[in-house]
Structure 1
Amino acid sequence: MTTLLARIQDRLRKRAAYVRTKSALENMPLEVAIDLDLYKPDADKIAARAVYGH
């Protein structure tokens, strides 16, 4: 039972980190995104790679 709760907590933490990261990427100024060579519409893919490692 403890393992199940730990896995659920880990997934919730990762989901929260994904949402924060995606939001930060989507809301950054265009100039910053250009400087970092990021395509803002790919924020979901970038956030997933950063948090989940995919």
Structure 2
Amino acid sequence: MAHVLSASAGISLTARIRSAFEGVIASWMKAREFQRTYNELDALSDHELSDIGVRRADIADIARAHVYG
């Protein structure tokens, strides 16, 4: 008879809840960092953006790459 073991069989319910909560907090913090980066770049004038070689249409992609890699 074959037995299948769950990967979380040895992890307590409290540890799983804590891990899920930490994952939510980490996602929330990354979303805040994305928004902060986006807002900072979006606040620059077109002239300032061109000085650093960024097009306004690329702001979201740049913010996403900065935060999520």
Fold-level similarity (TM above 0.5)? yes
Q: What TM-score do the two structures reach when normalised by structure 1? A: 0.89
The offset of 1:42, in angstroms, is 1.1
Whichever structure has more helix as a proportion of its residues is 1
AA partner of residue 35 (structure 1)? D
Q: What TM-score do the two structures reach when normalised by structure 2? A: 0.71
Alignment gaps of 5+ in structure 2: 1-16
- Mapped partners of 1:18, 1:50: distance in 2: 8
Alignment gaps of 5+ in structure 1: none
Q: Name the % identity.
A: 21
- Larger Rg computed on CA atoms: 2
Runs of 4+ with deviation above 4 angstroms: none
